[in-house]
Structure 1
């Protein structure tokens, strides 16, 4: 095998979402302002910037206004400000109660926020980054970490292109490149596979509460012009999840006669028969939601895990050779149900820290002061004030947990002298199948509810078929011999894309992985009760291709 091609930069950034792009822009802004030469490379595994980006999204513009004070004149795609803001408690499949504003924790109020496509914002940020001199490489997966002789991270290795399923080289094989950097910033999004390796190797989460997650499932609909209400924001709690799981739903009206609808299911649920995908399908039949979708056409579908542990689950974010930021670290503010402004701010703080370090003539040292900089910023203040939001909901449930959070946020601004922690990892919460009843899910009607495969089709997911499977089992026997016996193999249900099936082959149960369906949500890596599934990056540009999700 030939020597690997090497490209050297001052900074390599992994991930083309809001955190990584904000870091790239801020570094180059500083370099331009101080007339310094800095080389920055950003790699993104999606076929283009924004292809793998999925979020609600209602966005707080605070960080954007810091990064680009004239963002409006520059044409940032924030066009629809929130003008209707509602929270409904759904008490049955048809019943509901709208909560008055005074009953809602103030962190959930959306005055001054915008309904946007986060994919389009990421594309716009990439344009700004390139204009500032950042080298942006979409379609290149960061497959492996690169370490120097001292065990310090010295960059990343991009994925090989042209490997067959058995690992052999096909015609046109291209070996991955080594992208070396003085500092590497990881912003892969929730449950990044390299971030996971960094956590383990450098014990970044030692002594912290385990990270907690939700699975967000979302659809984009074209609605008749007469039904379009740009700026309308609706959140819901209660049904269909009820006592089965924490979480809640949302419906937002965008510009251009489009509506996004989605459901977030906390991944600490106990019933192994529960199917987040099917809960979402029946959610759309509730009158509060269905009235907005009459005569509409579904045009896109996607799903993504959300890191929602907050303050108590924040890892140490520095390690020898770089930083981990954004949802890769878990900077989402769960009390606001927002992670874009916090991810961007973490990227901007990382940029300041790295740029300052590059100006010294000393050998690169671990940027341990980054954690203090983040914790003493408005981002750190936000997360600390929201520190009890998730563990209290996990302990008291949605209703009483919501009542506590109203008290904590509205009367004490998150400063009650108590800190609650949920120390049980989400995967450990599943209980035996025999202890639970399987929910009854109706057959999709093809109008509001749909099957998984037709949904995956709308995600524009595509993988090269003849390539090594990126969903790796530590022990191939566990799904059938253990998970099927104990939990009725929950991967069949927690995956929102039909990747995992138990099929019968000559009278034997066989665990089948349809990796081509994978929409990169990372739920399997999180929820598998045996922690037997490891998600690694497939060949570059593989996965979903979201238009404006």
Structure 2
């Protein structure tokens, strides 16, 4: 069956904050210049926002620039931050407050506690009102190249069985051609973005990219424990000092709290389970008191990109641009990436518009003149300090850097080891015994996945592709006790024993598209590719 095709002037892959901001800004610029240009946004989720997961305390810097009258247009920013609280968890019972002036990047006055998914839905409405075509349920599965340049994408086929045969319902993907530019805004560890980085050597001379896995739950809590507008962060327990992560608890509207833990994916112990560290964190008295008698409403997890300036690839390639977390614009010292992602989309739109006008401009050069670049520069040593010195000393060094020197220390540290190379062998590391789930504060993976509304058509090709199917049992099991059993937050990977033989099982229907396996697998044996359109989680308010 032949593929159908469509032509647009600009094709944007991904309906998150960066992609939608690029679409809106382009539409605004085309309207100002009275240019008849077409824009489309492709989104793999069944609806805009369905795959969006973020903390989220939102800084309005980029939104103010993009849509200055966002308040009059009823943007879903309803809860201003009223109070910041920072705690260091000494152990499973004790904590000490940290004066907020020691961590200037964590001050949130003027910010809002929001659902980023709902903000993206609102941004999509603004884009459509400007004439942008938005197609949810259409993942970009392949890149179209013409004469060495990116010329568009091919959306994923629908209706193939698990062996790749065409079913009666088969529909081939469409060719979506871009006459001017293709913008990749897939989010962290985008499937096509990583191909572009490799093909065009966009990361040449850079540090490898670095990641964390971020968990999130939404709880409805008892009135007496709810303090709308409170933003609380913790670090320390339960993570070991050589794995310095951090947590958050944001008190939103409607008696809801948004809480989660970020675990850096350069951790060393293959016995560590990020999911179980998150569940254990909730049992600390400083956290548990808010959740008692509460009801868990939602669960999700997503890799986040935190390499910063030293890992930022070139965002220009022949035929288009990488933007947002597909490139790595998150400011990890703030644990915020939405405003920076939006700004990268705004600047990409300006560059595309200027190129159409015949100007010789690049996104890399233009970004260096913006507050986005200045933010990343000031925070460039934040992640390397933690990696090099651990949690306590790393935190002290960051206080010195951010508070005293304002991010202007006369040197730049590097973090040259990729996350997947950081694991030690299992025999060198202590095993970790995690407590049983109590089904009140802590819960197992499968009941959590249920709350993510994850669905995949079962009879379709597996979107988690093993380069070597024998490697998990023949290599990883002996050397690392097969860490996929633990680093996956959705119970996708299991080692099953049958008739005295062990085999590696992939429960791809559980996948919540976090991309952790693609990042952390020590031999880089797992390749995450897009499943059929509309598959995966469906987050209502994350």
Is this a same-fold pair by TM over 0.5?
A: yes
Task: Specify the alignment match of 2:448 in structure 1.
Answer: 455
Aligned residue runs from structure 1 range 163-178, under 5 A: 163-178=160-175
Cα deviation, 1:269-317, whole Å, max 9, x if unaligned, reads 0000000000001100101111111111001100000100000000011
Per-residue deviation at 1:368?
Answer: 6.0
Task: Specify the alignment match of 1:91 in structure 2.
Answer: 90
Does residue 68 in structure 1 map to residue 61 in structure 2? no
Cα deviation, 1:213-269, whole Å, max 9, x if unaligned, reads 000011011112333211111100000003251211111111111111100000000
Q: Distance in 2 between matches of 1:176 and 1:414?
A: 47
Q: Distance in 1 between matches of 2:190 and 2:371?
A: 25
Structure 2 counterpart of 1:208, from 202, 206, 209: 206
Does residue 197 in structure 1 map to residue 191 in structure 2? no
TM-score by length of 1: 0.97
Per-residue deviation at 1:34?
Answer: 1.9
Task: Specify the alignment match of 1:23 in structure 2.
Answer: 22
Structure 2 counterpart of 1:395, from 384, 388, 397: 388
Does residue 424 in structure 1 map to residue 425 in structure 2? no
Does residue 479 in structure 1 map to residue 472 in structure 2? yes
TM-score by length of 2: 0.99
Cα deviation, 1:451-473, whole Å, max 9, x if unaligned, reads 00000000000000000000000
Change (3 A) 1:511 1:368: farther
Q: Distance in 1 between matches of 2:314 and 2:361?
A: 9
Contact 1:40–1:134 (CA under 8 A) maintained in structure 2: yes
Contact 1:246–1:398 (CA under 8 A) maintained in structure 2: yes
Task: Specify the alignment match of 1:152 in structure 2.
Answer: 149
Per-residue deviation at 1:151?
Answer: 1.8
Q: Distance in 2 between matches of 1:80 and 1:231?
A: 6
Cα deviation, 1:482-536, whole Å, max 9, x if unaligned, reads 0001000000000000000000122111000000000000000000000000000
Match of 2:164, SS state, is coil
Q: Distance in 1 between matches of 2:396 and 2:141?
A: 44
Match of 1:404, SS state, is helix
Q: Distance in 1 between matches of 2:417 and 2:92?
A: 31
Does residue 344 in structure 1 map to residue 337 in structure 2? no
Contact 1:49–1:138 (CA under 8 A) maintained in structure 2: yes
Contact 2:419–2:519 (CA under 8 A) maintained in structure 1: yes
Structure 2 counterpart of 1:123, from 121, 124, 146: 121
Contact 2:355–2:361 (CA under 8 A) maintained in structure 1: no
Q: Distance in 2 between matches of 1:227 and 1:442?
A: 26
Q: Structure 1: any 5+ residue segments left out of the alignment?
A: none
Does residue 135 in structure 1 map to residue 133 in structure 2? yes
Match of 1:334, SS state, is coil
Match of 1:274, SS state, is coil
Contact 1:20–1:186 (CA under 8 A) maintained in structure 2: yes
Q: Structure 2: any 5+ residue segments left out of the alignment?
A: none
Question: Alpha carbon RMSD of aligned pairs, Å?
Answer: 1.0
Structure 2 counterpart of 1:516, from 494, 502, 509: 509
Aligned residue runs from structure 1 range 199-348, under 5 A: 199-348=197-346
Cα deviation, 1:419-477, whole Å, max 9, x if unaligned, reads 00000000000000001111110110000000000000000000000000000000001
Per-residue deviation at 1:359?
Answer: 2.8
Contact 1:319–1:368 (CA under 8 A) maintained in structure 2: no
Cα deviation, 1:359-416, whole Å, max 9, x if unaligned, reads 33x9xxxx76210101221101110111000011100112111111111111211111
Does residue 408 in structure 1 map to residue 406 in structure 2? no
Task: Specify the alignment match of 2:529 in structure 1.
Answer: 536
Match of 2:291, SS state, is coil
Does residue 55 in structure 1 map to residue 71 in structure 2? no
Number of aligned pairs?
541
Per-residue deviation at 1:21?
Answer: 0.2
Contact 1:217–1:264 (CA under 8 A) maintained in structure 2: yes
Q: Distance in 2 between matches of 1:102 and 1:6?
A: 56
